[in-house]
Structure 1
Amino acid sequence: MANRKEIRLCGYGGQGIILAGHIIGQAASIFEHKYATYIRDYGPEARGGTCRADVVIS
């Protein structure tokens, strides 16, 4: 568990937070041969609401 990394990205809708979390997880999986998962969280607003992406790499 010493190599476990947890990353939290926060922002507002339209800033690419969800996409950034997805790209970080994919990059760790493909290029570093690590296991990665991410959880996205966003509000019901169409645009401008708060959002969060949590990425765990191990």
Structure 2
Amino acid sequence: MCAGCLPISWSDWRGSGSRGPAAHGWTDQRWTPPRIAVVIREVFRVSYTARGVAYLLRGRG
């Protein structure tokens, strides 16, 4: 796998992420890199650090 590549598609993430942070147990509606890393790990069983998530998001614009 290449560095910076997600083994999931962005449409997969949008499906999980579109429910919002509250659907994943957080009380506010802010997505942060650490929260996104937790959801990726729980939903897709792939581990990313918060820094790795931030790197991937920067690449997406």
TM-score normalised to the size of structure 2?
Answer: 0.36
Return the index of the structure with the highest Cα Rg: 1
Higher helix share: 2
Higher strand share: 1
